[in-house]
Amino acid sequence: MSLSSTDIARIASLARLRLAPDESQRMLGQINGFFELVEQMRSVDTSGVEPLAHPVAAVEDITLRLADDVVSEPNNREANQRSAPAVENGLFLVPKVIE
Amino acid sequence: MSTGPVSTHSEMTAPIHEMGVAALAGALRGGRLSAVEAARHQLDRMRQHQALGAFVAVDEDLTLAQARAADARIAAGDAAPLAGVPIAHKDIFVTAGLPTSAGSRILAGYRSPFDATVVRRLAEAGAVTLGKLSCDEFAMGSANENVAVPALGFDHAVPARNPWQTDRIPGGSSGGSAVAVAARLAAAATGTDTGGSIRQPASFCGVTGIKPTYGRASRYGMVAFASSLDQAGPMARSAEDCALLLSAMCGPDPDRDSTSLDRPAEDFSLRLADSLEGLRIGVPREFLGDGVAPGVRAAVEAALSEYEKLGARRVEITLPLTQLSIPVYYILAAAEASSNLSRFDGVKFGHRASNYADPSSRKSALEQMYESTREEGFGDEVKRRIMIGTYVLSHGYYDAYYLQAQKVRRMIANDFQQAFKHCDLIAGPAAPTVAWKLGAHGDDPVADYLADIFTLPASLAGLPGMSVPAGFDDGMPVGLQLIGDYCAEARLLNAAHRFQEATDWHLRKPAGF
């Protein structure tokens, strides 16, 4: 399997990344180089094997905890917005979305 | 204000920077050294060696305020285990008092409103923060070369340098942490390990580092790379020192980390001195094959002989899927990274591109802002992994790549469980070679990926692993990797400590430091 430059453009768009043409070209070669490594993994017979997400679930039941449905966080809006690029009246500003 | 103990440091023989965590903690508690004196000494030393590029953020006033508070605690009789011990944090842990960049332009200048749980726990144990340490961008790298923020004393981004030979990489991604400990800029440092990022730089810089079982240390406030793999751990100059730090770092954090293990905090120092008589050490045949440099193999073999002298027994085992851990890891880690890094959009924090509007584009101004921000903010390796991750999670490819990798991941974890029927812990090299020259892997990311082969299997299985200095090859340190079963950190530290009682590799230091 080999990706094409069209694939790279499609993936970049999905990932919200803009790639300069030379960057795109270099990435194509490098990603195809990586997927050569992956071919061997694809051919492993995994029938009947359950996917493993939390690694310790390999030996014991791990259930993801649920938080109680109560207010637990104080209002830290000012501190939380201190590193935001653009804020006004406690709101995050983004470029105009609706014309 | 603290009055602190009167300094009598001149009575001691070892300079402050030669003292490890246990020695410092003892001297501080015993009033033979003040925390302010220790902090000042380390801050001076850090400036003196800033050409190493280890530190990326420092605030002397903050450090000294913490040190004064530690002196006050000690004077008041509060016996916090790390009171006054100066340490530094990998710049992937968020800190309220210091900026956090995760090595990335996209977070340059970012200030977190809170401390990571690990940072908070160490502060509660009395540790004083010297600053933040250089790392690969979002912890993605094996050489500390993927750094995009300036180190202290530089006006541009530089890789941290290996103090053993400064034209070599320190390893990564916790490269700055390993350099700081090896060059005696800090008694200990925090690191994180997703695919080997504590063990490999520890190996390359000749220090001791441990990654606990996945879920032992809270991930809250660790800038997320691959959430099912990321784990925090300490790096120091001995297993004894690592045990002190790890005891403070670990413990359940159920309200803040959904995958935190429900295991109580543990004192990892209690069993350090246990006998190794009858300990079965499994050596996977895949870990000593042709790909391993002869000098590395010789050091590991010598270490195994040392263990036999200590009463351990060597058992040959097999981890047949070792080679496959590379594609499995790089698929899963990239997939998780592409999801985690979607939060960097130029809206809530960090960098936003200033010029993004292209009138000829069909995309909305908002989409253009996202794309330009991410183009400017992320480095090459991060973009590659986001691309790979986005692809393997996309419709039509998910089963063939992501799900298949998760299945092989379980097979790898099961192989370890098979192996642990025959042995108590597993040993091998931490990496196939010693640290390579800066720039040696050029523009070939796959060369870096291949070098992670021996650390990836334990990461995928979520097992605790450590690297212990075990010799030299070509003048560069070699690390012995020890891997334990789930929650067997105490046993690992015990095995490392007994080895360090019998050898002096961990006491060697780079010339000029």
pLDDT tens, position by position, B337-362: 999 999 999 999 999 999 998 888 88
Would you state the structure tokens that stand for residue B402, as one six-digit string? 């992501």
Residue B459 pLDDT: 98
Is the pLDDT confidence value at A99 over 80? no
CB contact under 8 A, A54 and B342: no
Is the pLDDT confidence value at B392 over 90? yes
Residue B445 pLDDT: 87
Would you state the structure tokens that stand for residue B413, as one six-digit string? 């974890």
Positive or negative, the Cα torsion across B406, B412, B418, B421? negative
Nearest to A82 among B111, B259, B384 (CB): B111
Kindly name the residue from B134, B173, B174, B269 that is annotated as catalytic.
Answer: B173
Rounded to an integer, the average pLDDT of B174-193 is 98
Complete domains list, chain B, with CATH: 9-249 (3.90.1300.10)
Structure pTM? 0.96
Would you state the structure tokens that stand for residue B50, as one six-digit string? 């800033």
Q: Is B354 a known active-site residue?
A: no
Can you state the percent helix, strand and coil of chain A, rounding each to 5? 40, 5, 55
Q: Is B421 a known active-site residue?
A: no
C-alpha distance from residue A7 to each of B396, B405, B443 (Å): 13, 21, 22
Cβ(B372)–Cβ(B268) below 8 Å: no
Which range has the worst mean pLDDT, A59-73, B127-141, B225-239?
A59-73
How close is the nearest chain A Cα to the Cα of B468, in Å?
24
Is the pLDDT confidence value at B4 over 50? no
Complete domains list, chain A, with CATH: 1-45 (1.10.20.60)
Is the pLDDT confidence value at B6 over 80? no
- CA A42, CA A46: separation in Å to the nearest integer? 9
Instruction: Tell how strand B425-429 and strand B476-484 pair up.
Output: antiparallel
The residue type at B199: R
Average pLDDT, chain A: 92
Residue B359 pLDDT: 85
Is the pLDDT confidence value at B414 over 60? yes
- CA B356, CA B202: separation in Å to the nearest integer? 42
How close is the nearest chain A Cα to the Cα of B357, in Å?
10
Q: Does B406 touch chain A (CB under 8 A)?
A: yes
ipTM: 0.96
Nearest to B324 among A3, A44, A67 (CB): A44
Q: Residue B9: which pLDDT band, with cuts at 50, 70 and 90?
A: low
CB contact under 8 A, B446 and A33: yes
Residue B93 pLDDT: 98
Residue A1 pLDDT: 63
- CA B491, CA B498: separation in Å to the nearest integer? 11
Q: Give the model confidence (pLDDT) of B82-114 as tens digits.
A: 999 999 999 999 999 999 999 999 998 899 999
Count of alpha carbons within 13 Å of B31, Cβ hemisphere only? 9
Q: Give the model confidence (pLDDT) of B268-292 as tens digits.
A: 999 999 999 999 999 999 999 989 9
- CA A95, CA B156: separation in Å to the nearest integer? 30
Average pLDDT, chain B: 95
Residue A35 pLDDT: 94
Percent of chain B at pLDDT > 90 equals: 93
Is the pLDDT confidence value at B67 over 50? yes
Question: Please, which contacts does B289-292 make with residues 24 or more away whose CB atoms are closer than 8 Å?
Answer: B291/B432, B291/B453, B292/B429, B292/B432, B292/B433
Measured in degrees and rounded to the nearest 5, phi and psi for residue B317 equal -130, 175
B 241-300 → A contacts, CB under 8 A: 254-255, 258-259, 261
Percent of chain B at pLDDT > 70 equals: 97
Residue of A nearest to B388 (CA): A31
CB contact under 8 A, B449 and A12: no
Q: Give the model confidence (pLDDT) of A10-58 as tens digits.
A: 999 999 999 999 999 999 999 999 999 999 999 999 999 999 999 999 9
Q: Does B409 touch chain A (CB under 8 A)?
A: yes
Q: Is B173 a known active-site residue?
A: yes
The residue type at B413: A
